[in-house]
Amino acid sequence: MLFSLEHKCSIMLMCWLGMNFIPGTEGHSTKVRLIGASQSVYNYLEAITKRFGLEHDDDASTEVSLEGDILEAKYKDNPKVHVDFTSGQLAWRQKHGGGEAIARAVGVKSNYHPYVIDATGGFGTDAFILSSHGCKVRLIEKHPLVACLLEDGIRRGGRSLGASFRDNFQFQFGDSLTYLQSLNRSDQTSIPDVIYLDPMFPKSKNTALVKKNIKFLQNVLSHEPANDEALIQVALRTARKRVVVKRPAVAPCLGGLKTNIFVKSKRYRFDIYATHNHII
């Protein structure tokens, strides 16, 4: 059965209605330039971006467009980016394995798959790897444009990857500090076993080695060290078992909070902090 472009856009828009917003998220505004091949596509872009507080501006440095049913963004003269969990390197890693370092860091075992909150969602790469290892993951992203792209990738991934993906990969738009502080500690099902943090790294001097998705995030996200330090303190008070922080292999510990427990991969170090009296 063939559908018109207008009908496809209306169907996709209906898929966005399940979005979870963290209270207090409303009111943020980010300017983007919407590029629609037709009026119906433009209307679709305007509808979904407005829900995240994004506003059209002809002079904005970042443009948002639709390629087929894939939401894409482009910062200045850089390549377009989108979120995709169903093809490329992520899909290969899901089928053939990968991400063992991060899985070991959060404590995955053959008979144990922790509930993880990824408090710095980004494009969801690490959260997807953890969910592929059997973890239930809730990821949180507060930047409106990044969240918009992420939700689009999750919407498409849910169609292809099935019920296990939809059940184990939950997303909320908003501020992680607000969300973690709002958790009901008397309801143990809402408290994560692990909180995972991947704060924005400083820009690399060798930009040729930076992947386009990471470069996009570095361009649109602001690095806020004070917020990172506040987040790890709240995470340590919230997680039931551990907090894991992803760092460049030679970078200092986040906020000067030292630990002798870590897992290393070729490029990264996953610093592990036990919470309360939990022994790792």
SS3 per-residue string spanning 125-170: HHHHHHHHCCCEEEEEECCHHHHHHHHHHHHHHHHHHCHHHHHHEE
Distances (CA, A) of 214 to 13, 85, 203, 204: 27, 16, 9, 10
pLDDT greater at residue 14 or residue 125: 125
Written as six digits, the tokens of 111 are 């008979």
Boundaries of every domain in the chain: 5-75, 88-274
Distances (CA, A) of 201 to 109, 210, 247, 253: 29, 11, 8, 12
- At 242, is the secondary structure helix, strand, or coil? strand
* CATH top class, domain 88-274: alpha beta
Query: How many other C-beta atoms can be found within 10 angstroms of the C-beta atom of residue 267?
Result: 8
> Which residues lie across from 136 on neighbouring strands?
115
pLDDT in tens, 36-93: 989 999 999 999 999 999 999 999 999 999 999 999 999 999 999 999 998 877 666 6
Predicted TM-score (pTM) of this structure: 0.87
pLDDT in tens, 131-182: 999 999 999 999 999 999 999 999 999 888 888 888 899 999 999 999 999 9
Distances (CA, A) of 255 to 161, 233, 259: 37, 10, 11
Q: How far apart are CA 215 and CA 220, in angstroms?
A: 9
First to last CA, the chain: 55
Residue from 33, 25, 83 nearest 56 by CA: 33
Q: What is the pLDDT of residue 205?
A: 55
Q: How far apart are CA 103 and CA 126, in angstroms?
A: 10
Predicted confidence (pLDDT) at residue 202 exceeds the cutoff of 80? no
